Chains A and B, each alone.
Chain A
Amino acid sequence: MGNISKNAYGMTLLCPIRQDDAAHSYSNLTRDCLETLPLHDNSPMAKVPNTYLCRLYVLDDVFYQGAPANEEHLKSKYLVFCTNFHGDRDTYLRGMWNAVQEDVKRIWGYCIAFDKVKTAGDFVAYAKQCQVTNSLFFNGSDGGPLDEQLKALYLRQEFTRFAFDNFGKSAVELQQAFREFVAIVQPDNLQTPTWAPGMTQETQQLQYSFHTAARKEEYA
């Protein structure tokens, strides 16, 4: 299966954009919409459950590479949506609709037949129509749920800090420090503290040592 790697799914949609009319270029309007989307943790896609990464762009046409290639053109311009996520396709699409349907309506607003999409079920059916099978899907993780992966990455980074900070301590001190560390990072709590989806800058509050009594002066 070209779209599935363990529990990760790679979905590619090619959604045809309406032909330009005398007054509007719908591909330009779509591009405008994409270029003004908020970024990183403010992106609407950061609110869509289990999104690892995704990309939206407008495909105008295929390039003619010169003779002896045949010159070919696409029948329309396309909004391309590539997304990698945890879980199955339909659940993901329903989650996306439920989380950010206003954004979805704006982004897809100039696509052919999207005006008929009114419900999560319609969105799933629409996406299936537009889906192409991936040929080289690569996913760099184990495909687990996003919150587990973010927590795991957070824990790994903080544990590296812990290892460097506490190197050379006696077994007793180390155990004490580790207890404090565990109490701060809460390994079993997927909600907090952890990295937020789309986050690109780590805050001080997320560094475990910020919460230790011994390191107060560093953060003063």
Chain B
Amino acid sequence: MSDGEVLLEVEELITAFDTDRGLIRAVDRVGFTVKRGRTLGIVGESGCGKSVTAMSIIRLLPQPAGRILQGRVMFKGRDLTKIPAKELRKVRGGEIGVIFQEPMTALNPVHRIGRQLSECFLLHKKMSRKEAWEASVEMLRLVRIPSPEMRMGDYPHQLSGGMRQRVVIAMALACRPDLVIADEPTTALDVTVQAQILDLMGRLREELGMALILITHDLGVIAENCDDVVVMYAGRVVEKAPVKELFARPLHAYTRGLLASIPRMDSAPKSVLPTIPGMVAGMADFVPGCRFCQRMERRGPTLRERPDFIEASPGHWVEACPICYAGKEENP
């Protein structure tokens, strides 16, 4: 298979949680595609549904509260929402690798690194213990952990945060997956370590020809590491486009607000930063219509009906709320 071919297609996905206030949709008809060998960024603020979307893809939702109500997740010809759990376990960790924000949640504190890493090979590949051990050392070398043979005998707590995340990356990549889902992989790390990890992931992605879904709240990380971007707000995709297009011509008011509100290295010191007033409504209070209008405390018809999701220019999609989508006039 070659680059540019669609590897994963998420269509009309709805994921909901059972709560005291009834069934609440955390992800509300979300769709996007990931092409082989490309990096898709999903950006949005806490509670926008970006992590729930990712976890829905591999069906790792909190049980029993979370469930997929509707939609398809097509991965290499199969709908992951429909395949039996046993088959899914082979996909997870085999064809799809996962990296979480906090490496300690992915690592077992009472087992040595070597054992945990070998497990991936023993579970997904037909390898002997010795082969699995050697393959594990090789993986640690690949993620540039110094003296990997020695580290195999360490417990997770003996490693620094950056080293632990490298181990998690090694585990995620062990079986040469076609797709890696990384949920805020560097948020808990320092900038210098973040740069190392992201550069490493980018290099490995190229070498191994994987596709990557990178979930982050950091627009800088998106700009430097992604080919395509999905902007999520309040459980929905409000805009999606190739990365350069999105930063050059943001069409949705939320994307514009988000881009304007980050302090930049060249912004005037101590100047007033543009802000987005208010805050995201609680999930239980989401309106059926435009949720950014809801944040802006607007009244009227835009709150009642969900705006169409339109292709404003080739490859550039936006939720076309008559108030929040100010595209055409300003961007001829």
Chain A complexes with chain B:
no
Chain A positions within 8 Å of B, measured between CB atoms, are: none
